[in-house]
Structure 1
Amino acid sequence: MASLQQKTSRGHKYWYIVESRRVHGKPRPVVLAYLGKAEDLLRRLAGIGGGAGIKSYAHGAVAALLRVAQELEIPSLINEQVHSPRPYMPDKPLRHDLTAGATLLLGAIGRVCLPTSKQAWWEWAKTTSCEYLLRVALHGMDSQHFWDLMDALPVEAIETIEPQLLERVRQRYGLSTDTLLYDTTNFFTFIATTNTRCTLAQRAKNKQKRHDLRQVGLALVVTREDQIPLFHLTYQGNRHDGPVFSTIVENLKRRMLALGLDLEKHTLVFDRGNNSKKNMDLIAEAGLHYVGALTPYHHPALIERAEGHFTSVRLQDQTLEVFRTQDVVWGQERTLLVFVSDRLKTGQLRGLYVALKKAEDGLAHLQKSINAPSQRSQKRKDIEARIATLLNHQFINDLVDWSLDEAQPGPWQLTFAVNHQRLAELEKTLGFRILMTDRHDWQTADIIQAFQGQADVEHAFKNIKNPHHLALRPQFHWTDQKIAVHYFMCVLGYLMTTILWREAKAKVQFKGSVDTLLDTLNTIRLAATIDLSGKRGRHKVTYQLEQLDESQRALAQALGILDAHTHRPQLNGVGVYTSKHS
């Protein structure tokens, strides 16, 4: 419990809020806040009844995440796999009364609440109730602390920790895993080109348009219902989706079997970027069921067959015109669905018109520039090459008619026009989706709804790219091991958050996003009240929640944090609960 203490300096008495905590295993007074001299304090407290000082901390999100971590025993689970490679450190190192498992947990909680560098982690933590809840001083958690303890977790240990953690999640929360969603993304880094120690970060097409930087790939498999991550893979940033998918298939099968999941009752959903005959053969050999997609451009005959044979299919919120058939694709019988997605068509049309406008503007600029006196000596092949570059976009080359003539004597004459007849014909072909599955007994609506769940894993990636919560960046690491552990830490934070989101939806019918949930939890604050009414002895500091509105109270009750400040979590590997075995 915190108390009020005074110190005398040069004849003046100064007051501090102090709490006894263990530092390096020994009890030490830790200053929580400096209050100043008594007369200054009285002036500051004028108008506050009872002679009290108040300081508040962000509490809700931290308390809820720690509650999940305690239920799953995350620090001890990680610590079982810790092995420091440094000969001058213990096999299971301990710094500032924190084990490696506790450090990774606190790092994950920091990523969830306010993504920062490791060096700035304490600047965030001291504004929260984290120290009070854990009864341990955290001011020593700087970048060196994180680096030393992250270094003690071997990369191969992550593959051992994840299934054990997920088994605890499944037993504790009863997950729905019948439909699994798979996708990949990448994250750019600022790792120098000259850094040859890092092989994960490579240059390739970056989804955030930072093609000038090295990037690291992340593959993720999540549940459809709550987007809870079941599997992740950190891989080299220049690997294409197809080869990555082949790696995922066998690993995912092992993960599912380790969790005791029946392969026959589960379906993997993936997008068309992972399609190939080799990958589909791997899925068949692994005994996995699937719902995937084909590229309409490669199957024009199927779209022609669908014309005039569509049937209305009612989904939850819309009615689609769908053509269903069975055919052999890549040597296997598959159920195929063809339909038009209005959302996809709108997006494709928007992209088409943006590209068309860009091409027209570029041609108009070229039309003027080749008429300039300084440009009259240009050769035809050079101008045609520039035109080809401007029209180098899907569909655009077929939509723009152009001619280049040389006036004698005089400049080049470039004329161009959009072929509106071809444009109208093209618009009719946009928006088509082709789905394929081996679930021949499924209803058409069930197949479509399963594939539409693919948007959920894309939403998961949006969450971990959110700069305010859950962000995987910034990451200031430049070795493969540190990057892999950092990604594991971020996925761990996302796992705990989706569990909270699932509970909030189930218990209080929470309708908001993960981001909204975290914002709401951060409005639940813990107040420290200093009782200054006594004349002698230590003044008491008591903790209580700030006044909650009805929705805040219901959410706090549902997530089990209404009394977290009086029944603080007890985590193995943290503070007084640290032992050489934890």
Structure 2
Amino acid sequence: MAHLYKKIIKGRTYWYLRETHRVDGKVKLKWQKYLGTADSILAKLEKAEQTGQPLRMQTRSFGGLFVAHALEQELDTIGLVDRIVGRGKRETGPSVGEYFFYAWANRMIAPKSKHALEDWYKNVAVEHIRPVDAKQLTSARYWEKWDRVSAEHLEAVQDGFFQRLWKERPSPPRAFLFDTTNYYTFMATKTPSQLSRRGHSKDSKHHLRQVGLGLLVDRETSLPLYYTSYPGNMHDSKLFHEVLDDMARKMTGFAEPGKDVTVVFDKGMNAEDNLAAIDACAGLHFITTYSPYFMEYMAGVPLERFEVLDIPKNHGLMDKGRGRDRLLAYRSGAELWGQVRTVVATFNPATYRKKMRDLDRRLESIRTELLDWRRKFRGQERHWTSPKAITTRYKKLCESLHVSSKYFHLDFGEGKMGFRKDQGEINRARKLMGKTIMVTDNHDWDTEQIVLASQDRYKVEHQFRASKSSSHVRVNPVFHWTDSKIRCHLLTCLLALTCLRLLEIKVKGKYSGGTIMEEMQNLNCVLTWNKGEKSPKVRIEDPNPIQEEVLKALGYAIKDGWVLQI
């Protein structure tokens, strides 16, 4: 909020209007305007009363919430939720659908906790876009409203939302990308929850309970089509098996009737039952990765038999004079999961060199440690007399460096300690470096098509990174203590994430969703109070080129301080 600020310079008092905000725990100046001395301020007020100039002015953020409102008009999330959940018999104030809208709009613009939501809405021009009493947007009211929303309600909302989203798309999807992530919580150990469990954290917060999320997106647009929450300790392959039937119905439902579809996933989903289920589903195909360690005969094919791929990345490397870094591929077939599959092995020279440097550095680090340990063992220093304890330390060192303990052999005897490299194991590891194995049942696809589809898994990973951004969406950390509230929180975050991606598509990929929202937040409206008028006059600032482009993509323009539909 803006406030008056006094400065005393050479004994004289000067007044400023300024606004501050907190950045990294420190108070920073946001903006400042010089008002003058008390006498000059009085003179300005007297002049304003005489000439009709405004007595008071105020600015509020307008653009971010207006964009969210424009998308809401298109997607109708409020109407969808209200049709499914309905109003309570004695319910007053905003509906459940409106509470969801005010939550996902905030997640999309500048995510705040439910406790801070009320104050945040008081500082944006909500009453001029979608009027609401900000005092109604308290955390207590959110818990009260969300208590009425069941898991079945949320599933129906999800289905309706994605159907509405894809109804307007110019072409149906043909290939899908599926992956999983997890979000940490600060939920206490004794708090009952089926979703929040301890497991392998992808944010390396293994000591915290976490919630899993599986996300299916369209390969071409990166727009979500389906998501599911699951316990944080569930393995990816088990989740994939549980949701595959549901996902298959969604994929074939969104696709063009009679056309085959392909789902792309990584090796964490591989399991005999999962691939058998895909084989049994007519019209559904797959592309997955496979560990080179379990298919050494493919990874060990001499590079002379690999061919340069005809893909855009290789063309770009040639243009930059880096032809030696072009991606190579070798194609063959193998019987996997009970059927013959097409198998493609790729080799990335740049990745190979990087991994070689990393391995050499880590092996040298281990050798240095072993030399020091040998000296301590020979000197019979305290804590360094037991071969078993030293072997345990060695395995822990290898684990911390993510290196196999098979690369060195330790020998003990007659008060001596020795060690030697196992060059055979090291060469075996080097043979697999830079190699990626891809498996598919799309036998009629070109090698380039298979490789590009598999590489496109980065698109769903990009959506996960966006969901964990501190500036927008921000699923992490999950400050909710019941499974029902966690599910509601995930829905609002997925709505915000989808809308950000939709904005990127509307501006034809020229700007990221984060850039769009940062720019639109800075589009303000100006409120002016004149003498004798109870209500302020509202005018919108002139937009900058990016803001103007975003508004045009949504079908709006600002003219003479007003927002008009084009």
Tell me the TM-score normalised to structure 2 length.
0.82
Give identity over the alignment, percent.
26
Q: Which string of whole-angstrom CA distances, capped at 9 and with x for unpartnered residues, describes residues 151-189 of structure 1?
A: 111111222122222221122243552221100011111
TM-superposed CA distance for 1:388, in Å, is: 2.8
- The residue number in structure 2 matching 1:529 is 528
Q: Mean Cα displacement is larger for which, 515-524 or 215-224?
A: 515-524
State the Cα RMSD in Å.
Answer: 3.1
Residue pair 2:410, 2:420 contacting (<8 A) in 1 also: yes
TM-superposed CA distance for 1:42, in Å, is: 4.9
Residue pair 2:345, 2:435 contacting (<8 A) in 1 also: yes
Does the alignment pair 1:442 with 2:445?
yes
Residue pair 2:96, 2:145 contacting (<8 A) in 1 also: yes
TM-superposed CA distance for 1:520, in Å, is: 2.2
Q: Which has the higher contact order (CA 8 A, sep 6+)?
A: 1
Q: Which string of whole-angstrom CA distances, capped at 9 and with x for unpartnered residues, describes residues 248-287 of structure 1?
A: 2111122234446447332111111111221111111223
- The residue number in structure 1 matching 2:297 is 301
- SS of residue matched to 2:177: strand
TM-superposed CA distance for 1:79, in Å, is: 1.3
Name the CA shift for 1:353/1:51 in 2 (closer, same or farther; >3 Å): farther
- The residue number in structure 2 matching 1:545 is 540
- The residue number in structure 2 matching 1:157 is 153
Name the CA shift for 1:488/1:363 in 2 (closer, same or farther; >3 Å): farther
- The residue number in structure 1 matching 2:455 is 452
Residue pair 2:473, 2:496 contacting (<8 A) in 1 also: yes
- SS of residue matched to 1:180: strand
Name the CA shift for 1:245/1:109 in 2 (closer, same or farther; >3 Å): same
- The one-letter amino acid paired with 2:88 is D
* 2:338 aligned residue (317, 331, 345): 331
Name the CA shift for 1:324/1:43 in 2 (closer, same or farther; >3 Å): farther
Name the CA shift for 1:306/1:190 in 2 (closer, same or farther; >3 Å): same
Task: Could you tell me which runs of 5 or more consecutive residues in structure 2 were left unpaired when the two chains were aligned.
Answer: 1-37, 315-325
In structure 2, C-alpha distance between the alignment counterparts of 1:352 and 1:281, rounded to whole Å = 38
- The one-letter amino acid paired with 1:559 is L
Name the CA shift for 1:320/1:260 in 2 (closer, same or farther; >3 Å): closer
- The one-letter amino acid paired with 1:501 is E
- SS of residue matched to 1:264: coil
TM-superposed CA distance for 1:64, in Å, is: 1.1
Residue pair 2:373, 2:384 contacting (<8 A) in 1 also: no
Name the CA shift for 1:259/1:158 in 2 (closer, same or farther; >3 Å): farther
TM-superposed CA distance for 1:336, in Å, is: 1.2
TM-superposed CA distance for 1:552, in Å, is: 2.4
In structure 1, C-alpha distance between the alignment counterparts of 2:372 and 2:491, rounded to whole Å = 50
TM-superposed CA distance for 1:406, in Å, is: 4.3
Residue pair 1:64, 1:560 contacting (<8 A) in 2 also: no
Does the alignment pair 1:51 with 2:46?
no
Name the CA shift for 1:41/1:299 in 2 (closer, same or farther; >3 Å): same
- The residue number in structure 1 matching 2:310 is 314
- SS of residue matched to 2:136: coil
- The residue number in structure 2 matching 1:185 is 181
In structure 2, C-alpha distance between the alignment counterparts of 1:423 and 1:259, rounded to whole Å = 48
- The residue number in structure 2 matching 1:91 is 88
- The residue number in structure 2 matching 1:384 is 391
Q: Which string of whole-angstrom CA distances, capped at 9 and with x for unpartnered residues, describes residues 534-566 of structure 1?
A: 4xx315522222222223212222223435985
- The residue number in structure 2 matching 1:266 is 261
Residue pair 2:183, 2:477 contacting (<8 A) in 1 also: no
TM-superposed CA distance for 1:228, in Å, is: 1.1
* 1:166 aligned residue (162, 169, 182): 162
In structure 1, C-alpha distance between the alignment counterparts of 2:518 and 2:354, rounded to whole Å = 31
In structure 1, C-alpha distance between the alignment counterparts of 2:151 and 2:562, rounded to whole Å = 38
- The one-letter amino acid paired with 1:268 is V
Name the CA shift for 1:76/1:388 in 2 (closer, same or farther; >3 Å): same
Residue pair 2:327, 2:349 contacting (<8 A) in 1 also: no
Q: Mean Cα displacement is larger for which, 520-529 or 432-441?
A: 520-529
- SS of residue matched to 2:503: helix
- SS of residue matched to 1:391: helix
Task: Could you tell me which runs of 5 or more consecutive residues in structure 1 were left unpaired when the two chains were aligned.
Answer: 1-37, 84-89, 408-412, 570-582
- The residue number in structure 1 matching 2:33 is none
Residue pair 1:93, 1:99 contacting (<8 A) in 2 also: no
Q: Mean Cα displacement is larger for which, 278-287 or 372-381?
A: 372-381
Q: Which string of whole-angstrom CA distances, capped at 9 and with x for unpartnered residues, describes residues 273-304 of structure 1?
A: 11122111111122311111111110011223
